Amino acid sequence: MKKTIILAALFISLSPLAFSQVTAGKIIDSAEAENLFGKAEYGIQFAPALLKDYLQSSSYLFFSLNSKILFISNERKEILYPLHGVLKGDEVFHVYSSEVINELINKNSGSSVIIEKRKNVLTLTNGNFTLEFGYLCPPYCNYE
């Protein structure tokens, strides 16, 4: 009986860890981002309102930007952008938590978020703030 109570207490104390989500991404000053990752090679302007719509049904957003072609997916691997988009299968996605993307959008009331391709990273910039330090998919793709 005592072991059962101890095990139950242990399970209850650890359960928040089992169901907690990993936070993917960190917001930094845009000048620091340029210093760390270099200047953006190119970027695509994206409406913050549309990103907020995607955040409503997703805990994570997956971004792929290659040759100026942007794909946005959710953790269920549904293509959100472009509408009716088809993947080749060799895309590498940069994964960011929806809560961090929402925080970035709320830091500035600009008319667009710029999704930028830099030398080795993909960043999201809104005014003087840049989001990076997400995860790559593959290998970290299972967020359901």
Strand stretches in the chain, DSSP E: 26-29, 42-46, 60-66, 69-74, 79-81, 93-97, 113-117, 122-126, 129-132, 135-137
pLDDT at 97 over 80: yes
Model pLDDT, residue 110? 76
- What pLDDT does 42 receive? 96
> Would the pLDDT of 16 be above 90?
no
Residue 17 has pLDDT above 60, yes or no: no
Q: What is the CATH number of domain 23-137?
A: 3.10.150
Domain ranges for the chain? 23-137
Taken in order 65, 61, 55, 122, is the CA torsion positive or negative? negative
